[in-house]
Amino acid sequence: MRRTNSRFLAAPVLVALLVGACSNSTNPNTNPDSGTNNACTDLTGVVTPTVTIVSTGGVYGGYAFSPTCAQINKGQSVTFTGNYTLHTLERTTQTVAGATNPLPANAYSGASPVMFGPFPDSGDFNFFCTIHGFSGTVRVNP
């Protein structure tokens, strides 16, 4: 019978444990445009915060809003750019009941760029393309 050296078996197990401990799927520093977490792109210091429709070559017809989450301060407006005859923009839900939501209640289809706002209340204001389903959020700081 051949005996296996336990040192050679322990090394791969130790490496696997260390790699697993260093990876964290809930890392708040992951790409905010990935749609996999609650991170937002900070646009609070930007004169004209802008969300753009971009081609991703992936799901939802190959398009997405970029950034998928735009963080602004109360009183700021957001400019949306892209082809709003091919893609429509409509609000979905918000996290603060009774808050004023300046995003369109019905599918917006028209000229680009278009500005919505100002956002007088804090909270998350979600929107989506009614044709393809890709979505985004305007997060307004308190």
pLDDT at site 3: 55
pLDDT at site 23: 28
Residue 69: is it exposed, middle or buried by C-beta count within 10 angstroms (0-12/13-18/19+)? buried
Q: What is the CA radius of gyration of the chain?
A: 21
pLDDT at site 12: 36
pLDDT at site 58: 66
What is the 3 state secondary structure string of 76-132? Answer: CCEEEECCCCCCCEEEEEECCCCCCCCCCCCCECCCCCEEECCCCCCEEEEEECCCC
Amino acid at 65: F
Dihedral, CA atoms, 22, 25, 31, 34, nearest 10 degrees?
150
CA atoms within 13 A on the CB side of 24: 8
pLDDT at site 120: 95
pLDDT at site 2: 54
What residues contact residue 22 under an 8 Å CB cut-off, 6+ apart?
A: none
pLDDT at site 24: 29
Strand partners, 54: 64
pLDDT at site 132: 85
pLDDT at site 66: 95
Correct CATH for 32-141 of 2.130.10.10, 2.60.40.420, 3.30.565.60, 3.40.80.10: 2.60.40.420
pTM assigned to the model? 0.69
Q: Which two tokens stand for residue 44?
A: 């609070």
Which regions of the chain are under pLDDT 70?
1-38, 58-61
pLDDT at site 13: 33
pLDDT at site 97: 79
Alpha-carbon distances of 13 from 2, 8, 17, 79, rounded to whole Å: 21, 9, 6, 51
pLDDT at site 112: 87
